[in-house]
Structure 1
Amino acid sequence: MKYLFLCVALLCNVTLFAQKPSPTPAKTDSVKKPVAIQPYSKVIPASAKKQQGLFTVVNTDNKWYFEIPDSLFNRYLLVVTRYIGTPHGDAKAGEEANEQTIYFEKAANNKVFLRAVVYRNDSEDSTQAIYKAIQASNINPIAAAFDVKAYNETDKRTVIEVTDLFKKDNPVMAIGSKDKGIAKLGSLADDRTFINRISTYPINVEVRTTKTYNSSSPSMYAAQMAGVATYEINVSMVLLPAKPMKKRLFDERVGYFTNRYTLFNEGSQRTRTQDFIQRYRLEPKDADLENYKKGILVEPKKQIVYYIDPATPKKWRPYLIAGVNDWQKAFESAGFKNAIIAKEWPEQDTTMSLEDARFSVIRYMASETSNAYGPRITDPRSGEIIESHVAWFHNVMKLLHNWYMIQAGAIDPRARKMEFDDELMGELIRFVSSHEIGHTIGLRHNMGASSQTPVEKLRDKKWVEANGHTVSIMDYARFNYVAQPEDHIGKAGIYPRIGAYDKWAIQWGYGVLPGNQSAEQEQGVLNKLIIDSLKSNPKLWFGGEGKNEDPRSQTEDLSDNQVKASEYGLKNLKRVIAQLPEWTKENGDLYSNLEEMHKAAVAQYKKYLGHVMKNISGRYVTVKSIEQAGAVYTEVSAERKKETIRYVGKNVFDAPLWLYPKNITDKLGTKGLDDLLEQQNGLLNVMINPTTLFNFNNTALQSATPYTPAAYLNDIKKEVWKPFGKNEVANSLRRSLQRSYVEKLQFIINPKQVKDGWIRSSAQRDDTRLMVIAHTKKLRAEIPLMIQQNPGNAAHFQDIKHELDKILHEMNKL
C-alpha cells in the first residue's frame, strides 16, 4: 500500500555478494612510483584532535584522516546514508538515501582501495573448482583509492586521508541517482559543501556532512529562490560480524522479507536461487541454553531495543512504546521473554546519536505525508537485521482519523468528531506502531489473514473481543466495519492486534532449533513445522501481499465472505453518511471537513465493491509443498460469483443515490450522478468484455460444476434489465446503464478491429462470441414485453430494439 505501511516498494536496497576480499595486496597496473609514506608525526602532529573507536579518526588543518587497524582490512562494513535535513519540498529527513557493503583493502604502491560489494553469486562449496570461476567473474569494483599517508607503528594502523571521500560525491555514500533525478540535483557547489563532524564508536563511524547541489526542481522553494538545494546527510559505517549469523532459508508459506543468492554447484546441472529471511540475531544466553531446550522462557543474549525520537510529542510516546512491547508475547512463542522493548531516547546522554546505526529508532517526521513505514538494514550474507528506523509521519494521524470515522463511526461514538480525544488517537497510534514494528523484525504483509475469520464472528461480541477481527496485525484489516450498532462491540473487537499468525510466524522464524545443524539441514524441520501447524490450525495460512488473483488476499477487506461483509459495511456507511454534516461541524469551517470526509466515505464504498468484484475473475491460490494434500489452485464457486452479481445489482446497478444526499451535495456542489454513471459503466466494462468471458468459458470447460458464460450473462441481465420504479433520477441512470449494456454486446459481436481488417483476438474467436450472439437475440426477443411492462419508457426500449437489430444485421456482414 503506497498509503499507510508502505512496505514493499520501500524495502531495503541490500546487495548480496560472493566475492571474498583477498587477504593479500591487490595488484595494480600503475606505472607510477609508489607514493612515499611520511613519518607519522609529520602527518599527524601532536596538536591533532583524535577520537578512538572502530577507526581512529583524526582532524587536523581542516583535513580528516582514518587510522585503519590491520585487523580491519578486508572486513565487511555496511554503509548506510541517511537524510538528516532536507530542503522544503523534499521531505525525506530521517529516510535512507543509500546503502552498500564495502571493505578496505591494502594494495600495491602504498595504496588502499575501498571496494564495493555488488554481486549475487556464490558457490555452495568453496573447495570446488567452480568457485574459481565465480571469483573471476565477480571482481568487486574499486569505489575509491587512497594514498597511504603514514603508518602508526605503535597501534599497527594505516593512515589515509578521507576528506574528499565524504566532502565530494561518491556513489557508495551519497544521494542515490534516483533521488537526484527526482529532486533535479546537479553538480555539487564545492564552496558550500563541507564535513560537519566525524564521530567514531566501538563498531561504527558516523559522518555528518552538509552538501549543496545546483538544482532546478520546481517543487523545492529553495531551488527556485537560489538555484541550489542544501542537504544535511549522515553516513554510518557499521562493522558487520566477523562470523555471519546462521541463515534461515525462506519458505513461501511464511511471510518474511528475504535476501537472495544465486548458487553454483559442480554436482548440479543448473544454478539455483537461495532465499533466506531477514531477522534479528536472537539467541539464548549460554547459561540458559538447557532451560531453553526444556521449553522454559529465557531472555536473549541481546535484547531488541527501539528508541523513541525525542522530537516525538510526549503524549504519543507511551502509545508508540506500547506498540513495540506488544510483540513480547509473540516472541514468547519462540521461547524468549522480554525479547523486544521500546524506550524513550536518553536525551542527557551526549554519547548517543540518532544517526548511529547501532540504535533502532522510531523517527518522528514533521511532514504532511499521511504515511508510516518500517524498513530494515540487514547483513547481506545472512539476513541478520542490524538496525531499523521506523519513519513516522505526523500526518498519519489524519489518515487514522478518517479511516476510523468512516469505518467505526456507526459503532463508536468517540469517532464522531473531527478532533479525536487523545486516548482514542493514542490507541490508533499503538496499532500502527505494532504493524510497522512487525515489518522491522522481518515480517511482510499477510493480506489473507482477515479471510480466516467467519463473517458472523465479527458480530459476536464475546468472540471478537476475545480473539480480534483478524489473525494478523500484518494485514490491512483496519477496523471492524462489519459489527453493527446493535452488537454493542467494544474497542477490543474493533482494533487490529497481534494475532495467532503473528505469534506463529515469530516462532517459525526466531525459534532456535536443536542441534548444530546447517541452514539446509534445518529446512526439513521447518517444513514439517509448517505442515503440522497448518494441518492443526488452517488459520495460520499466509495469504501474501494481496497482489495475486486470490479474492481472500485483499487489502482492507474482512472475513471469509467479502459479499456479506461488504453488505454489513454498507449498512454502517449509510448511517455514517447521514450524519457527516453534523460530525464534521467546526466553527469557521467552510465545509472543507465535510468534503474531506464525504470523499473518504465514497472511497470506502468503492473499496467494498472492489473486494466483492475480485470473486469474478479470481481463483484461490494456496501455496503447498508436495507433502500437503489438495490443489494449489482452486476456482471460486459459482454460488459466490452469483452472490457477487446480486451485490452489484443491488448496490451499483440500483443507483446508490444515498451516497450523494442533497444536504451534502448542496454544500459541496458534488456531481454525484456523473460519478454513479461512471461507476456503472466501468463495472460493465469489467464484467462484459471478451477477456472476462473467454476466461469464464475456459474455467467452465474444466470445472466439475461449470458456471458458463451463458449463465453468467443471464445473471447480469437480470440485474440490469429490471422494471423501472417511481424515482425518475434512478430511472434515468437505469436507462443509461441499459444503453451501456448494449454497447458491450456490440463490442464483442462486431469488434471494430475486425472492421478495420484486424484479426479477432482469441476471446472473440472462441465459443463465447456465439454465446453472446444467442444472448443478444434472446434480449431482442424480450423487448416487446419490456415495452408492455414499462409503457412510460417505450421510446427508450424502441431505441434499444433498433440498436440490437443493427448489431445483429451488422454481424451478418462480417
Structure 2
Amino acid sequence: MKKYVIASLFVCIAVSAVAKKKHKGATPPPAAKSADSTASAAGSKKGPKPYDKVITDKAVTKKGLFNVHKVEDKWYFEIPDSLLKREMIVTTRYTKTAGGGGVYAGEMENQQTILWERGPNKNVLLRVVTVIGVADSTSDIYKAVTNSNLNPIAESFDIKAYGKDSSVVIDVSDYFKGDNQPISLGAYTKKRFNLGGQIGDRSYIQSINSYPINTEVRVVRTFGSTPSFGPSAPSPIPSTTFPAAYATGAVTLEMNNSFILLPKVPMARRSYDSRVGFFADDFVEFGDNQQKAENNVFICRWRLEAKDEDMVKWKNGELVEPKKPIVYYIDPATPKKWRPYLIAGINDWQKAFEQAGFKNAIMGKEWDPKDSTSNLEDARFSVLRYLPSEVANAYGPNVHDPRSGEIIESHIGWYHNVMKLVHDWYMIQAAAVDPKARKMEFDDELMGQLIRFVSSHEVGHTLGLRHNMGSSSRTPVEKLRDKDWVTAHGHTASIMDYARFNYVAQPEDNMPETNMFPRIGDYDKWAIQWGYKSSFAANEKEDQKITNKWIVDSLKVNPRLWFGTESNPFDPRSQTEDLGDNSMKASEYGLRNLKRIIVQLPEWTKEEADRYENLRDVYSALVGQYGRYMGHVLKNVGGVYETPKSIEQKDEEVYEPTPTAIQKEAVTFLNKQCFETPSWLLNKEILNKISNPVASESVSNVQVAILNNLLSVGRMNRMAVTSNRFGDKKTYTVDVMMEDLKKGVWSELTSHKPIDGLRRNLQKAYVDALIGIINPAPGQSPTLVRNNDAVSVARAQLVVLKTQSAAAANGMGDKMSKYHLQDIAARITKALDPKS
C-alpha cells in the first residue's frame, strides 16, 4: 500500500525506545544487543529497568488503547509497538468549570492529532503534527515534502521499562499534572480568562481509564489569576475574569483528555463542491506529474458503510443498515420533559439517510448514568451536552480525521436559555397566526416542538452540513400562504437555513401550527444523499466526476436543491432570518403581522408582579424583527448573484447583478417602510412603561443604521464597479439610486409638510453620510474613497441639497422644521468649502 506524508494541525505523540536486557515476561526490541543495552544491564540508574521492577505487584492496571498502570502515586502508559506512528486524535474538554466564565462542562478547549514514535535516547517523544502538504511515497517529490514538513516535538519521556512484544512503558504523571499546552489550556484561553501559570501543588490527576480504542485522562488544574479592577489596555483578545479569582486569586478547572485511535486506513475522501454545503478540510498535494500543486479540499462526514453481508443489496440500491450507526446520547443533566423532543430532532434525520441508501443510520438515545465503564467526555460517544447558561443559543461541532474528513464524534452544546430565544422568535413571528404563541410561558408541547427543530438543525451541523442561507429564496412568497403547498413542501427547503418561522402566513390563511416550523426538507435530504451515498468509484478523481454529475442532473430537475452559502456578503438570496424569493413582498407580510402583534403585547406579556420586564424584552425583540426586515430588503441594493457552476451548466452566468427592477423596488420599500417615520412602532402605551424618553431611541437607531449602510462607500463602489462591467442599462446605477432615495428621505422639500423629530435625525444622518464620503475621516483608505464615483455623486447631491434646503426653509411654517433645514444648508456649505 502506498504511504503519504500528511498535513494536519493536531498533536502527534512520537515514542522513542532503545534496547534493554531481557526481563521476565517481556520481549526486547530488535536493537536489544546494542552497547546501550549492555550499559543498562550493567546497572545504569537512568536506563530502562526490568518490567516487574517498574510495574510492581502494587500496580492497578486498566487495559485498553494504552495499558494504564497506577503504582502508588505514579501513572504509567504502556504503549504497544503496533501503535507506534499510528495517528490519534486528542480532544481536551472541560468536565467541571469555575462559575461565571462563560464556559461549561462538556465544551471543548483543545483538539490535536497525535502519534507515537521511537526516539534515539531511550525516550518517547511527543510530536505535534503541523504538516500542511502530502505526497505519494512512490513519487520522487515525496522526500522533498517530507523534509519540508518536520513536526515539532512537544515532549520527551524516558522509557522506564519494556513490556511484551516490544511495548514501551513511560511515566506520564508529571506531564499530565503539568501545564502543557497540547493537553491543557492554550495561550489564547489563558489570556481570555486572565489566567497565569498552573499551581503545581493544587493540580493533580484524578483518574485515567482505558478502553479498546481510547484512553481518558481526567485532571484537576488550578491556575493563578490576578483580577483587574480598572479598565484594561486595548487587546485583540476579549477577556473576562472568573469570580473565583477575586475571592482566592486562583481558578480551578477539571479537564478531560481523550486519546482516540484513528483508522489505520483512512476513509475514502469525497471532494468538496461549493454547490453543496458541507464543512471541509484540506491539504496541499504534490506529485511528480503535476504542473502545479493542487489544494485537495474534501468534505467532513461520518463513515457509513454497509455490513459485509449486505454489500450486494447496497450496490443494488436496497436500503441497508450501516456497520456502525451514528448515535447521539442525551446528557442526563437534561430536564426529562425535553429529552423526547431532542431525541426526535435527532431521529428526524433518518429519512434523509434513507435517500443515501441507509436505514436506521442515526438515532438518539438516553445516557445510562449507571454505566461506570464510560463517561460523557469519552471520545467514543457523541453527546448532546446540556449547559446551564444564560446564553440563548446552541451549537453543533464535530471532531474529524484530518487525513480524510471522517467525523469521529461530536459534543453538541445546548444552552439552557435557548428556550428564551425560540420563545421570543415564535411569539414575534407567529403569534398573529398561532394563539398558543400569545403568552410568556408556552405549553410544553409547543416548546418541545421548538426544541425539536433546533435539535435537528444542530445535529445537521454535526453531520457535516453548513448553513444554507439561500434555501428559503427558492420558495415563491405567495406559496408561503398556501396551506396545502406548505404542508407538502415546508416553508423552506432546508432546516440548515435560518428561516425560523413562517412569518409570511396571515391569520386568514388558516395555517396549521406544523406549517409554521422549519423541518428537514428537500435540500437536506439531497445534501445527505450527495455526501453519504457511495458512488462505488475506483478512486477519488472518479468519485468527483460522478458526484459532479449528481449535482448537475439534480439541480436541473429541482432548483430547490440550491445551496446559498452563509459567507456571501453580496448575494441577497443568501440571508439569515429571511423567507421567500422577494424580500420586499415577504417583509410587507411580516410587517402586517407585527402591526397586529404590537397592540396586543401589553396583554400577552402580562404576568403577576411583573414590572414590565416582559413587555420590554418582547417589544425589543419586535423592533429587532422590524430591523431584520429592513436589512433583508437593503441587501438587494447593489446585490450580486453568485451561482457556482461547473462547465456542464451553461444556462446562466456565475455572477450577475441583482435585477434593476428588484433594486428599485427595494429602495421604494425602504423609503416607505423605514425612512418614513414608522409611527405604529412608537406605541406610547408601551414606551411610557418601558423606556425613559431621554434614552436612545431604538426605532431611530434602526433607521439611521439602514440609511448609513445604504450610503456606505463600499456599497456605492460595488454598484459603480458592477455598472462598469455590465453596463448602465443592465444595472441600477449609483446616481439613479441616489435620486430615488432622495425623493423619499427629502419629500418635505416639495411637500412643505412639518418634519418630525425622527425624520430630522434621519436627514442629518443622510447629510453626514455624504459629507463623510467627500471628506473621509482619518484612517479611511483615501484610494477607496477618492477614486470612486461615489465621491462625485455625493458631492453633486450635496450641492443640489444645499440650495433646495435653504429655499425650503423659507417656506416652512413649522419653526423646528425651518431651523433644521437652515442647519442642513449650513452643514453642507461648511463641508463643500471648509474655509468658508
| Pairwise same-fold verdict (TM > 0.5) | yes
* Aligned match for 1:721, one of 718, 722, 746: 746
Cα distance change of structure 1 residues 21 and 243 upon mapping to structure 2, 3 Å threshold: farther
Residue 15 (structure 1) aligns with: 8
- What is the deviation of 1:364? 0.9
Give the distance between the partners of 2:567 and 2:93, measured in 1 at CA.
Answer: 30
- What is the deviation of 1:69? 1.7
Deviates more, 1:266-275 or 1:634-643: 266-275
Q: Deviations over 1:590-618 (max 9, x none)?
A: 11111111111111111111111011132
The aligned runs of 1:552-567 (5 Å cut-off) are: 552-567=573-588
Q: Which amino acid aligns with 2:68?
A: V
Give the distance between the partners of 1:769 and 1:454, measured in 2 at CA.
Answer: 38
Q: Deviations over 1:661-693 (max 9, x none)?
A: 111111112448844444434433333455544
Q: Report if the CA contact (8 A) 2:75-2:172 is conserved.
A: yes
- What is the deviation of 1:120? 1.4
* Aligned match for 1:84, one of 77, 95, 117: 95
Cα distance change of structure 1 residues 767 and 71 upon mapping to structure 2, 3 Å threshold: closer
Give the distance between the partners of 1:37 and 1:253, measured in 2 at CA.
Answer: 57
* Aligned match for 1:538, one of 556, 559, 570: 559
* Aligned match for 2:133, one of 118, 121, 131: 121
- What is the deviation of 1:503? 0.6
* Aligned match for 2:359, one of 330, 337, 350: 337
Residue 195 (structure 1) aligns with: 205
- What is the deviation of 1:513? 1.3
Tell me the secondary structure at the aligned position of residue 616 of structure 2. Answer: helix
Q: Which amino acid aligns with 1:98?
A: N
Q: Which amino acid aligns with 1:45?
A: T
Q: Deviations over 1:323-346 (max 9, x none)?
A: 000000000010001100111112
Q: Report if the CA contact (8 A) 1:612-1:644 is conserved.
A: yes
Deviates more, 1:525-534 or 1:156-165: 156-165
Q: Report if the CA contact (8 A) 2:12-2:87 is conserved.
A: no
Residue 456 (structure 1) aligns with: 478
The aligned runs of 1:61-210 (5 Å cut-off) are: 61-90=72-101, 91-123=103-135, 125-153=136-164, 156-210=166-220
Residue 479 (structure 1) aligns with: 501
- What is the deviation of 1:789? 8.0
Q: Report if the CA contact (8 A) 2:397-2:461 is conserved.
A: yes
Q: Report if the CA contact (8 A) 1:546-1:555 is conserved.
A: no
Q: Which amino acid aligns with 1:537?
A: N
Tell me the secondary structure at the aligned position of residue 238 of structure 1. Answer: strand
Cα distance change of structure 1 residues 168 and 761 upon mapping to structure 2, 3 Å threshold: closer
- What is the deviation of 1:806? 3.6
Q: Report if the CA contact (8 A) 2:767-2:828 is conserved.
A: no
Q: Report if the CA contact (8 A) 1:16-1:259 is conserved.
A: no
- What is the deviation of 1:393? 1.1
Give the fraction of aligned pairs with identical amino acids, expressed as a percent: 49
Cα distance change of structure 1 residues 689 and 385 upon mapping to structure 2, 3 Å threshold: closer
The aligned runs of 1:314-713 (5 Å cut-off) are: 314-515=336-537, 517-629=538-650, 630-671=652-693, 674-701=697-724, 702-703=726-727, 704-713=729-738
- What is the deviation of 1:803? 4.1
Give the distance between the partners of 2:124 and 2:334, measured in 1 at CA.
Answer: 43
Residue 795 (structure 1) aligns with: 818
Give the distance between the partners of 2:174 and 2:10, measured in 1 at CA.
Answer: 27
- What is the deviation of 1:743? 4.6
Tell me the secondary structure at the aligned position of residue 186 of structure 1. Answer: coil
Cα distance change of structure 1 residues 268 and 581 upon mapping to structure 2, 3 Å threshold: same
Q: Report if the CA contact (8 A) 2:752-2:811 is conserved.
A: no
Cα distance change of structure 1 residues 228 and 270 upon mapping to structure 2, 3 Å threshold: same
Residue 286 (structure 1) aligns with: 308
Unaligned runs of 5+ in 2: 1-6, 20-30, 229-240
- What is the deviation of 1:261? 0.7
Q: Report if the CA contact (8 A) 1:448-1:546 is conserved.
A: no
Deviates more, 1:774-783 or 1:429-438: 774-783
Q: Which amino acid aligns with 1:379?
A: D
Give the distance between the partners of 1:148 and 1:730, measured in 2 at CA.
Answer: 84
Number of equivalent positions: 792
Cα distance change of structure 1 residues 195 and 764 upon mapping to structure 2, 3 Å threshold: closer
Deviates more, 1:375-384 or 1:216-225: 216-225
Tell me the secondary structure at the aligned position of residue 615 of structure 1. Answer: coil
Tell me the secondary structure at the aligned position of residue 188 of structure 1. Answer: coil
- What is the deviation of 1:728? 9.3
Instruction: Give me the TM-score of the superposition, normalised by structure 1.
Output: 0.91
Q: Which amino acid aligns with 1:482?
A: V
Deviates more, 1:218-227 or 1:363-372: 218-227
Give the distance between the partners of 1:237 and 1:414, measured in 2 at CA.
Answer: 48
Residue 47 (structure 2) aligns with: 36
Q: Which amino acid aligns with 1:578?
A: V
- What is the deviation of 1:509? 0.6
Instruction: Give me the TM-score of the superposition, normalised by structure 2.
Output: 0.89
- What is the deviation of 1:17? 8.1
Cα distance change of structure 1 residues 727 and 170 upon mapping to structure 2, 3 Å threshold: farther
Give the distance between the partners of 1:38 and 1:643, measured in 2 at CA.
Answer: 83
Q: Which amino acid aligns with 1:165?
A: Y
Q: Report if the CA contact (8 A) 1:183-1:217 is conserved.
A: no
Output the aligned Cα RMSD.
Answer: 3.1
Cα distance change of structure 1 residues 769 and 222 upon mapping to structure 2, 3 Å threshold: closer
Matched, 1:235 2:257: yes
Q: Which amino acid aligns with 2:742?
A: K
The aligned runs of 1:796-811 (5 Å cut-off) are: 796=819, 799=822, 802-803=825-826, 806=829, 810=833
Cα distance change of structure 1 residues 774 and 105 upon mapping to structure 2, 3 Å threshold: closer
Q: Report if the CA contact (8 A) 2:623-2:698 is conserved.
A: no
Tell me the secondary structure at the aligned position of residue 300 of structure 1. Answer: coil
Q: Which amino acid aligns with 1:686?
A: N
Q: Deviations over 1:481-534 (max 9, x none)?
A: 11111111112211111011111111111001124x111221111111111111
Unaligned runs of 5+ in 1: 1-13
Q: Deviations over 1:547-582 (max 9, x none)?
A: 421111111111111111111111111222211111
Residue 274 (structure 2) aligns with: 252
Give the distance between the partners of 2:781 and 2:413, measured in 1 at CA.
Answer: 53
Q: Report if the CA contact (8 A) 2:15-2:116 is conserved.
A: no
Q: Report if the CA contact (8 A) 2:91-2:108 is conserved.
A: yes
Cα distance change of structure 1 residues 37 and 318 upon mapping to structure 2, 3 Å threshold: same
- What is the deviation of 1:16? 4.7
Q: Which amino acid aligns with 1:445?
A: H
Q: Which amino acid aligns with 1:433?
A: S
Give the distance between the partners of 1:453 and 1:403, measured in 2 at CA.
Answer: 21
Q: Which amino acid aligns with 1:211?
A: R
Q: Report if the CA contact (8 A) 1:212-1:228 is conserved.
A: yes
Deviates more, 1:201-210 or 1:50-59: 50-59
Give the distance between the partners of 1:97 and 1:570, measured in 2 at CA.
Answer: 43
Give the distance between the partners of 2:781 and 2:86, measured in 1 at CA.
Answer: 62
Give the distance between the partners of 1:23 and 1:759, measured in 2 at CA.
Answer: 55
Residue 775 (structure 2) aligns with: 751
Cα distance change of structure 1 residues 143 and 406 upon mapping to structure 2, 3 Å threshold: same
Tell me the secondary structure at the aligned position of residue 90 of structure 2. Answer: strand
